[in-house]
A and B are shown apart, each in its own frame.
Chain A
């Protein structure tokens, strides 16, 4: 019986390697298209502008007179609950030393998915 020539085994092995690398490249390409979608979705779902808007009002509220500040506090809580499905709460206090006055505030925002908490301080 003639001996089997085994040179072809190298060709088959190379074929395997090439096809496997193609397979993994295709897998990477397949996943990469979903990335744009999921990123845009998570950006759209994150209430960045809601929080920024509400935060700016809460800080403005600290510098209004007492009647307006109280009115606007309840306005913000009412509107946030009914129009943005968010429970919000905030406190502003003013502390004075002999030389300086500090205004500090605490902001709480919760829309069921995201909880945001902030403390801020400003020197007058």
Chain B
């Protein structure tokens, strides 16, 4: 007489092997995606570092006893963006972002600022000048994986910057591209 008990064991064996195979697939798959998540986390940290550095540079000194309020270093640099002040910006930003307890970090950056031309009162008809450089630690070639940090400030910027005759209170947007090499 033919016995059919063996069929049950075969089906169980097949089911168990399928489950084991799926589990092994998931486990191997799990370890292979770690690098992706890491990339974005370091981008986020780099952006925060840049924003914090700009915030520190935009911190004015305390008012003097006579009552005059000092301008922040960033505001002074933006108002007169000559070569001496651009060097100052590079040194300051480089020191704040790359400072570590042991050695130095490898953060590179390229900075510029934008402001609106003239006195036109309609946003759409006011051209924006976005080409004033604030210096860079290295030239941006396009191959870098850069993030952007920005800082808004009010400054007496001339048009073009540094021209006293046309200086008035302007909203200025400082933009810094940061990357690690």
List A residues at the B interface (Cβ < 8 Å): 1, 4, 12, 15-16, 19-20, 22-23, 26-27, 29-30, 33-37, 40-41, 43-44, 49-50, 53-54, 56-57, 60-61, 64, 68, 70-72, 74-79, 81-84
Contacts and interface: CB of A to CB of B under 8 A. Distances in A.
B116 A37 contact: no
Interface size class for chain B? 35 or more
B12 interface: yes
B37 A79 contact: no
B154 A44 contact: no
Contacts of B19: 19-20, 23
Interface of B: 1, 5, 12, 15-16, 19-20, 22-23, 26-27, 29-30, 33-34, 36-38, 40-41, 43-44, 47, 51, 114-116, 119-123, 126, 128, 130, 147, 149-154, 168-171, 173, 175
B116 A33 contact: no
B134 to A, nearest CB: 15
Does more than half of chain A's interface fall in helix, strand or loop, or is it mixed? helix
A30 B30 contact: yes
B168 A40 contact: no
A81 B33 contact: no
Contact of A16 (B16, B40, B119): B16
